[in-house]
Structure 1
């Protein structure tokens, strides 16, 4: 499965001479009425039919050869993919990469001198790993996964925590203290294991499950790095099946992501009104991108805007036709029907956090902010004073 590191490397993949074919293909074999081979055939034909004057005869010939190579690849090996696939091909430049993707991808193809990675950046939140821990005073179950994949790592049972039949002649208070000591030792053991997992396979979120008083006591034992990842608590029994645990955990994460986006929109609104660390609308966002200012990019997932990109310095501009000069470096411009993918990729390269607003609850409050905006790394006030 593709990783954030893979997407980061792909965002910097380019060739000065040879065009790169970027194919994103949804492969959903569970639907017998949705044949991915037909979708692939249509995409390859569309790409071949739309080769334009950006490419010279040698480049067009190379692209057609890469399209044929992709067709043959899926003919021979397509059946081994069960979700989605991304292929990047420029054989003359020695580029051939294949990555498996989550199922929720939109099929598309693009040809240019850089890899088209904006669709992959959008699915990164599906790739963020999380751990779910069902915790009791004498046992625990640990799970590791993502929104699309989930597995149980281990079960931990502490047989030394005494039960009611072990009380013997002890006083009730002394016996309860004895149980509490064993429970704390058990919590510490599980907490240490969660920290060990974090060191080996870092995760973004921790989901807990168990009685409220047990979860509260367990949280106190967690390492701060692990505790700060606590996103919520699921209401499932210790004996719940893995599918139920996964479904409930994903619901917690979806709510967490939605809340994060709503908080970011409100923060953006406040920063724009104060004229400090926020910009809204296409042109201010483009200027912030050019200055390397974007800390967090917020964009309505359905938003599109025409513009141009410089083929030399890769700056994105609101206006300019193919063949015109870049206002920053004087290089040639290429007109685009939609510059939003270029903005997304540029912000990603700069290490910005990207929030795609896909739900009505997040899209509606962004309308009066121009449907695109950014929280900034530095204050606009301090910049103007400097």
Structure 2
């Protein structure tokens, strides 16, 4: 499975493609099996490809190019790994392009686009929804660090500190022992925080999720550098020994919840400015005018414009706001 850097490089390469005379196929498939373990994409692929190809004249070079694309696509999919959750595939035989993009991240629904250039928005959106992030699971004697991206594990690290035991003696001996334990815990948290900071800075990771008990979390927050602490987006409750698939599932859910909350806040702020006749506009026409005047600092695009009301019961029918 390609890492997110490879996926980003493929996206950039495809985005640089110049439109030409031959049709360009952009195919997105959900490869997850149904409740009975059966693939759901083959009927879609068989019907949609044939229907689209038939729209071209039988003698046209465009149709010949599409026929070659269809054959290569079917041959590739026959050998595709069933462990993948999704597949994006871009093909144009006339331009000698065939770019399969296997994905661990799921694709919600099958899509087929035929145009003069690649249709990249679904892939770009997927990479945005499944960014590279760091997850840290820690207690006062150990830590597990994971780097996830595009819904798959990229790296893992383990740090083992000094294990301490309960001391039953009382008086000054107990107090000295307690300080001794606290020093071990603080040193462990410092080592973990430094390790996390190196990874985050070296790999330009912008999102960090923590998991730990009440003893270690305050120590971690104390020792994390400010620039790294500012990237902590959530704290979740996970067993320190949780399996990787549970960690991935829980942290992805936390990321999506935080992203949704942030998106709501940004939309509400923009609509509040619009309602107050401030520096904001909504709708395609007004947004395009703002672009033409060079007045757009931030653009929000909604995938479901009918669900966004701007006041007086009036929904935005064109999904742009700036």
Q: TM-score, normalised by structure 1?
A: 0.70
CA gap 1:111/1:289 in 2 versus in 1, 3 angstroms:
farther
Question: Where does the alignment leave 5 or more consecutive residues of structure 2 unmatched?
Answer: none
Query: Does the 8 A contact of 1:285 with 1:372 survive in 2?
Result: no
Q: Deviations over 1:15-51 (max 9, x none)?
A: 3333311111222246534442222111211221234
Distance 1:38 1:110 in 2: 16
Deviation at 1:79, TM superposition (A): 4.4
Which segment is superposed worse, 9-18 or 164-173?
A: 164-173
Distance 2:141 2:83 in 1: 41
Please say if 1:6 is aligned against 2:10.
yes
Query: Does the 8 A contact of 1:24 with 1:105 survive in 2?
Result: no
**1:47 counterpart (21, 29, 52):** 52
Deviation at 1:158, TM superposition (A): 0.9
Distance 2:69 2:122 in 1: 21
CA gap 1:293/1:14 in 2 versus in 1, 3 angstroms:
farther
Please say if 1:38 is aligned against 2:43.
yes
Q: Deviations over 1:319-356 (max 9, x none)?
A: xxxxxxxxxxxxxxxxxxxxxxxxxxxxxxxxxxxxxx
Aligned equivalent of 1:230: 232
Deviation at 1:153, TM superposition (A): 1.4
**2:64 counterpart (61, 64, 67):** 61
Question: Where does the alignment leave 5 or more consecutive residues of structure 1 unmatched?
Answer: 305-362, 376-386
Aligned equivalent of 2:119: 116
Distance 1:211 1:38 in 2: 49
Distance 2:178 2:255 in 1: 36
Please say if 1:149 is aligned against 2:152.
yes
Query: Does the 8 A contact of 2:28 with 2:88 survive in 1?
Result: yes
The correspondence of residues 229-378 of structure 1 with structure 2, limited to 5 A, is: 229-289=231-291, 294-303=296-305, 363-365=307-309, 368-370=315-317, 372-375=319-322
Please say if 1:71 is aligned against 2:89.
no
Aligned residues: 313
Distance 1:282 1:189 in 2: 52
Aligned equivalent of 1:357: none
Distance 1:68 1:245 in 2: 40
